[in-house]
């Protein structure tokens, strides 16, 4: 039969026959018509199969030990015929879609694919489907393709991979793979494989939750030893026979895995970026019954422990952990003796010492005996934490090295190597690894016996907090005045005391009966409110802030905290309630929160005018915030801080006062944000005290000196902020030269201006400020009181507010930096 002459009837006939010849399920399931849907249910979980039944697309139940009641499902593509049912794709596009509850649905409609919960609310859809969908095809390659009526591809899973590539898939420039957080957790991990625009294929870590990419630990271009190594790459190709190569601009190939690979017809192949950062190509025999397993064919890097050293973030293992190479080039992480996992379920996470040691502790402990009796050393051959040292002593013998660390209260570990070098290191230790070429050892300082714990409190008991200077003043007034005045004063004190006691009582009852109007949101509500966490408006150590809209068109800022330890729900609620009980004109209002599963979110009022840093350092002198407004902002911040320290039901130390954390409302009223975060961060598994100590440039010397952390750290930061507001200069110096020296510059320079009587230089000739000299000089002097190195010299925020108000005079401040040279003569 000649095809062109075939009649319509015979075509119909042939098609009809074909329908019978091809097994029905495959044909029906490979072409998915519009509309179609799948439901997430237990047992008979529905899925669509590729024609060969090799791959399935649908819902997978996640068995993470949860009770059957809260069973969650993941929309995914997986190998259908092998026992391990390995998952190769799940919805991502930026961030992974969350696991969904039972009876959620995925629907294919005219407008594309959409994942909805049992209430019919949309949870996820592919970001970029434009056009009218006619049908979808589930290819035998494992690619799920959405097509329009002219068979144009509108969207395909191969363009949006998460951690796995399949044969015939290509990774173009600008595209990347991300690791999962762990084998079982499908949230975003910290390793990436990226095909850069420059044509380099690299592996790197990122500093979650930001995208900041650290130095690459694998770079295809650097391994390219062909004479044409300079030709840039174009894309990473995983061809249908299982060969993996970088295809270059000039058509040449840089082979990554072997060229001869067992035929794709006998084996499944995949390339996966594992959660521990190792990129592996695997194969699995197709027809092996229940015996087969994934066999690694190729992997990079060869020694991940040696290759990954992250200066500005976490390495392969968490803090204080040690990386060793296990099977198949996969890393293993171990805590040293006397250290335990922070989160016992995360073997790759940080370790914490099960003892305390600090300079304050040591001062107490010297009463118990000589250092030699108190501390010993655990030795680990050829072990190093290469990024945690603070001192190099050489030439030094082993015993000198040990003694030096023993008597140095800052020293946590000494690494002695090459027979002469002694590196002293502090906690937290990072990038721990075995280095065979070290020719030395690590000596970890550990207590020889158990000491009672002496954690320093972040929240001081309120009643104990007294300003010694006030007491001295009262005393001297009493001594120096007449009996009658004394009598009157005594009476006044009694009245004051009674009122104070009453207030204390009120406070304590308020503290126990937690009564707030905080709204409890579900994760889905916030997911919708923020349009799937679309619009990012800020980020910090705690996580990322997104803009959103809740009911009644109220704009909100939703703060998504980095994941917390699982068993900290009660503590989280306690702290959220503390924040929720604050009510002050100069504080950003907390509206509600969400604590569902691992997710922790806070919902705040949205302030349209941005942060103080946007206004202060705008650059254009014409846009400079006027002097009067600046004075008003200063007073607002001071009042907000005074409330946090002194007046709210439970004292809150902010720990991170800086212009980025001062927001302005429509009327340019300053509102402090992020208060209460320090305690929340402490709860978080991935944070230690050192992460919390605010922001460089604004943090008080106590943070570095192991002194108790009190409200005075905020007073210090406020002082730096005050100088910034006066001068409209960042303590970081100009944008272009963010050198560490510049941080000192603002305070030093301001003090020089002050002592030389050149306040005009400080405000850069701001006419309005110069007309207001008295006020200007007052503000500057208050700032120098606040940034005194000695915490007890700094005033309380109440005193600061009074000085700013003009209610009390401002005495001449002493030099704030007694340890550096100060010009003490002040020009009047």
Ligand X SMILES: *[C@@H]1O[C@H](CO)[C@@H](O)[C@H](O)[C@H]1NC(C)=O
DSSP conformational letter for 611: B
The CB-of-220 to ligand X minimum distance in angstroms stands at 8
DSSP conformational letter for 809: -
Residue (217 or 593) nearer to ligand X, CB: 217
**C-alpha angle with apex 648: 711 to 683, nearest 5 degrees?**
65
Site stretch for ligand X (CB under 6 A), options 236-244, 302-310, 581-589, 612-620: 236-244
- Reduced to 3 states (helix: H, G, I; strand: E, B; else coil), residue 691 is helix
Residue (84 or 476) nearer to ligand X, CB: 84
Half-sphere exposure (Cβ direction) of 718: Cα atoms closer than 13 Å: 33
Half-sphere exposure (Cβ direction) of 143: Cα atoms closer than 13 Å: 19
- Residue 36 tokens read as 């179609």
Helix axes of 773-786 and 712-727: crossing angle, nearest 10 degrees: 150
Contact mark string toward ligand X, 115..134, x via CB under 6 A: -------------x------
Among 805, 807, 808, CA closest to 632: 805
Site stretch for ligand X (CB under 6 A), options 25-33, 216-224, 310-318, 403-411: 216-224
How much helix, strand and coil, in percent to the nearest 5, is found in the chain? 30, 25, 45
**Residue 150 found at the interface with ligand X (CB under 6 A):** no
The CB-of-134 to ligand X minimum distance in angstroms stands at 12
- Report the alpha-carbon distance of residue 660 to residue 151 in Å, rounded: 50
Site stretch for ligand X (CB under 6 A), options 72-80, 175-183, 217-225, 313-321: 217-225
- Reduced to 3 states (helix: H, G, I; strand: E, B; else coil), residue 577 is helix
Helix residue spans in 605-660 (DSSP H): 612-616, 627-642
- Report the alpha-carbon distance of residue 542 to residue 575 in Å, rounded: 14
Residue (215 or 764) nearer to ligand X, CB: 215
- Reduced to 3 states (helix: H, G, I; strand: E, B; else coil), residue 689 is helix
**Residue 202 found at the interface with ligand X (CB under 6 A):** yes
Contact positions with ligand X (CB under 6 A) in 181-200: 196, 200
Out of 44, 437, 517, 824, name the contact with ligand X by CB under 6 A.
44
Residue (450 or 620) nearer to ligand X, CB: 450
Residues contacting 630, CB < 8 A, separation 6+:
725, 726, 728
- Report the alpha-carbon distance of residue 279 to residue 541 in Å, rounded: 28
The CB-of-58 to ligand X minimum distance in angstroms stands at 14
Q: Does residue 565 contact residue 343 with C-beta atoms inside 8 Å?
A: yes
Among 341, 442, 429, CA closest to 690: 429
Residue (144 or 643) nearer to ligand X, CB: 144
Out of 354, 470, 481, 734, name the contact with ligand X by CB under 6 A.
354
The CB-of-227 to ligand X minimum distance in angstroms stands at 4
Out of 121, 337, 535, 614, name the contact with ligand X by CB under 6 A.
337
The CB-of-306 to ligand X minimum distance in angstroms stands at 17
Site stretch for ligand X (CB under 6 A), options 46-54, 288-296, 501-509, 661-669: 288-296
End-to-end C-alpha distance for the chain, whole angstroms: 111
Residue (47 or 747) nearer to ligand X, CB: 47
Q: Is 656 tagged catalytic? A: yes
Site stretch for ligand X (CB under 6 A), options 237-245, 685-693, 726-734, 735-743: 237-245
Out of 3, 4, 8, 43, name the contact with ligand X by CB under 6 A.
43
The CB-of-143 to ligand X minimum distance in angstroms stands at 6
Contact positions with ligand X (CB under 6 A) in 474-493: none
- Report the alpha-carbon distance of residue 464 to residue 227 in Å, rounded: 74
Residue (221 or 661) nearer to ligand X, CB: 221
Q: Does residue 695 contact residue 656 with C-beta atoms inside 8 Å?
A: yes
The CB-of-376 to ligand X minimum distance in angstroms stands at 12
- Report the alpha-carbon distance of residue 529 to residue 606 in Å, rounded: 13
Residues contacting 305, CB < 8 A, separation 6+:
316, 323, 324, 325, 331, 433, 434
Residue (121 or 215) nearer to ligand X, CB: 215
Out of 8, 65, 289, 480, name the contact with ligand X by CB under 6 A.
289
Residue (137 or 707) nearer to ligand X, CB: 137
Pairing type for strands 536-540 and 421-425 reads: unpaired
Out of 13, 85, 259, 502, name the contact with ligand X by CB under 6 A.
259
- The catalytic position among 224, 343, 361, 656 is 656
Among 611, 609, 586, 626, CA closest to 728: 626
**Residue 575 found at the interface with ligand X (CB under 6 A):** no
Out of 36, 139, 309, 358, name the contact with ligand X by CB under 6 A.
139
175 assigned ligand-binding residue: no
**Residue 338 found at the interface with ligand X (CB under 6 A):** yes
**Residue 288 found at the interface with ligand X (CB under 6 A):** yes
- Report the alpha-carbon distance of residue 107 to residue 20 in Å, rounded: 28
Site stretch for ligand X (CB under 6 A), options 180-188, 221-229, 413-421, 687-695: 221-229
Residue (182 or 239) nearer to ligand X, CB: 239
Q: How far is CA 126 from CA 173, 511, 765, in A?
A: 20, 47, 55
Contact mark string toward ligand X, 426..465, x via CB under 6 A: ------------------------x---------------
Out of 31, 219, 403, 613, name the contact with ligand X by CB under 6 A.
219
Out of 5, 67, 119, 227, name the contact with ligand X by CB under 6 A.
227
- Report the alpha-carbon distance of residue 347 to residue 429 in Å, rounded: 17
The CB-of-420 to ligand X minimum distance in angstroms stands at 32
Half-sphere exposure (Cβ direction) of 434: Cα atoms closer than 13 Å: 15
Q: Does residue 826 contact residue 497 with C-beta atoms inside 8 Å?
A: no
Position closest to ligand X via CB: 43
- Report the alpha-carbon distance of residue 676 to residue 559 in Å, rounded: 13
Q: How far is CA 453 from CA 446, 450, 457, 571, in A?
A: 14, 9, 12, 20
The CB-of-95 to ligand X minimum distance in angstroms stands at 14
**Residue 291 found at the interface with ligand X (CB under 6 A):** yes
**Residue 241 found at the interface with ligand X (CB under 6 A):** yes
Residue (261 or 715) nearer to ligand X, CB: 261
- Reduced to 3 states (helix: H, G, I; strand: E, B; else coil), residue 677 is helix
Please give the sequence-ordered ranges of beta strands (E in DSSP) within 354-410, or none if there are none: 375-381, 383-384, 389-393
**C-alpha angle with apex 208: 203 to 211, nearest 5 degrees?**
65
Among 767, 792, 793, 770, CA closest to 780: 770
The CB-of-771 to ligand X minimum distance in angstroms stands at 53
Out of 179, 243, 431, 524, name the contact with ligand X by CB under 6 A.
243
Contact mark string toward ligand X, 680..699, x via CB under 6 A: --------------------
The CB-of-616 to ligand X minimum distance in angstroms stands at 34
C-alpha gyration radius of the chain = 32
Give the count of residues interacting with ligand X (CB under 6 A).
Answer: 31
The CB-of-355 to ligand X minimum distance in angstroms stands at 6
Q: Does residue 105 contact residue 116 with C-beta atoms inside 8 Å?
A: yes
Binding-site residues sit at 560
Binding-site residues for ATP sit at 560
Which residue ranges make up the site for ligand X (CB under 6 A)? 43-44, 128, 137, 139-141, 145, 196, 200, 202, 216, 219, 221-222, 227-228, 239-241, 243, 250, 259, 288-289, 291, 337-338, 354-355, 450
The catalytic residue positions are 656
């Amino acid at each position: 039969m000649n095809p062109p002459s075939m009649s319509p009837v015979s075509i119909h006939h042939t098609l009809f026959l074909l329908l019978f010849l091809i097994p029905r399920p495959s044909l029906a399931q490979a072409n998915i018509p519009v509309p179609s849907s799948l439901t997430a249910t237990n047992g008979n979980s529905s899925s669509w199969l590729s024609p060969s039944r090799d791959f399935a697309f649908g819902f997978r139940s996640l068995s993470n030990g949860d009770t059957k009641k809260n069973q969650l499902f993941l929309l995914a593509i997986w190998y259908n015929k092998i026992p391990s049912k390995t998952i190769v794709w799940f919805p991502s596009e930026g961030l992974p879609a969350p696991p969904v509850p039972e009876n959620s649905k995925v629907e294919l409609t005219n407008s594309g694919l959409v994942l909805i919960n049992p209430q019919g609310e949309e949870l996820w859809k592919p970001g970029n489907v434009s056009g009218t969908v006619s049908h979808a095809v589930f290819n035998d390659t494992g690619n799920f393709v959405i097509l329009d009526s002219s068979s144009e591809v509108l969207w395909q899973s191969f363009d949006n991979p998460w951690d796995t590539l399949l044969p015939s898939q290509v990774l173009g420039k600008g595209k990347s793979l991300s690791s999962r957080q762990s084998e079982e957790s499908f949230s975003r991990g910290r390793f990436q494989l990226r095909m850069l625009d420059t044509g380099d294929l690299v592996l790197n870590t990122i500093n979650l939750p930001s995208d900041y990419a650290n130095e690459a630990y694998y770079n295809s271009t650097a391994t390219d030893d062909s004479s044409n190594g300079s030709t840039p790459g174009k894309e990473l190709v995983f061809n249908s026979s299982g060969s993996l190569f970088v295809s270059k601009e000039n058509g040449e190939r840089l082979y990554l895995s072997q060229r001869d690979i067992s035929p794709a017809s006998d084996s499944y192949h995949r390339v996966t970026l594992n959660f521990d950062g190792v990129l592996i190509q695997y194969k699995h025999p197709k027809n092996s019954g229940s015996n087969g397993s994934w066999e690694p064919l190729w992997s990079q890097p060869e020694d991940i422990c040696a290759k990954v050293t992250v200066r500005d973030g976490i390495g392969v293992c968490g803090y204080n952990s040690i990386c060793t190479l296990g099977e198949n080039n996969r890393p293993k992480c171990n805590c040293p003796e006397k250290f335990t996992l922070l989160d016992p379920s995360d073997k790759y996470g940080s370790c914490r010492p099960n003892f305390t040691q600090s300079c304050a502790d040591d001062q107490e402990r010297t009463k118990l005996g000589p250092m030699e009796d108190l501390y010993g050393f655990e030795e680990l051959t050829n072990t190093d934490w290469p990024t945690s040292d603070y001192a190099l002593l050489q030439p030094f013998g082993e015993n000198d090295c040990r003694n030096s660390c023993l008597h140095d209260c800052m020293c946590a570990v000494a690494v002695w190597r090459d027979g002469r070098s002694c590196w002293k290191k502090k906690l937290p230790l990072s990038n721990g690894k075995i280095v065979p070429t070290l020719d030395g050892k690590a000596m970890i300082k550990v207590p020889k016996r158990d000491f009672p714990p002496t954690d320093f409190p972040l929240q001081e008991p309120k009643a104990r907090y007294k300003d010694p200077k006030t007491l001295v003043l009262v005393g001297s007034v009493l001594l120096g005045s007449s009996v009658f005045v004394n009598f009157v004063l005594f009476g006044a004190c009694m009245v004051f005391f009674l009122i104070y006691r009453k207030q204390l009582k009120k406070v304590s009852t308020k503290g126990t009966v937690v009564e707030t109007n905080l709204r409890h949101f579900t994760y889905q509500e916030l997911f919708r409110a923020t349009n799937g966490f679309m619009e990012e408006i800020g980020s910090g150590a705690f996580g990322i802030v997104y803009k959103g809209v809740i009911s009644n068109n109220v704009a909100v800022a939703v703060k998504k905290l980095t994941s917390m330890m699982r068993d900290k729900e009660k503590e989280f609620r306690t702290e959220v309630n503390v924040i929720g009980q604050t009510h002050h004109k100069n504080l950003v209002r907390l509206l509600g929160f969400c604590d569902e599963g691992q997710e922790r979110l806070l919902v705040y009022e949205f302030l349209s005018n941005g942060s103080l840093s946007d206004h202060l350092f705008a650059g254009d002198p014409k846009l400079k915030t006027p002097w009067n407004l600046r004075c008003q902002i200063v007073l607002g911040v001071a009042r907000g801080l005074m409330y946090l320290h002194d007046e709210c039901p439970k004292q809150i130390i902010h720990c991170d006062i800086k212009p980025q954390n001062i927001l302005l409302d429509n009327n340019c009223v300053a509102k402090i944000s992020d208060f209460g975060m320090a305690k929340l961060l402490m709860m978080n598994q991935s944070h230690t005290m050192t992460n919390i100590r605010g922001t460089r440039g604004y943090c008080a010397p106590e943070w570095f000196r192991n002194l108790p952390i009190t409200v005075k750290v905020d007073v210090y930061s406020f002082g730096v902020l005050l100088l910034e507001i006066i001068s409209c200069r960042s303590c970081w110096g100009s944008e272009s030269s963010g050198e560490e020296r510049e941080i000192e510059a603002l305070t030093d320079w301001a003090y020089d201006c002050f002592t030389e009587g050149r306040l005009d230089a400080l405000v850069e000739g701001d006419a309005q400020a110069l007309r207001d000299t008295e006020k200007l000089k007052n503000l500057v002097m208050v700032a120098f009181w606040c940034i005194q190195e000695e915490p007890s010299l700094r005033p309380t925020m109440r005193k600061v507010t009074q000085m700013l108000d003009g209610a009390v005079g401002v005495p001449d401040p002493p030099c704030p930096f007694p340890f550096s040279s100060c010009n003490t003569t002040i020009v009047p």
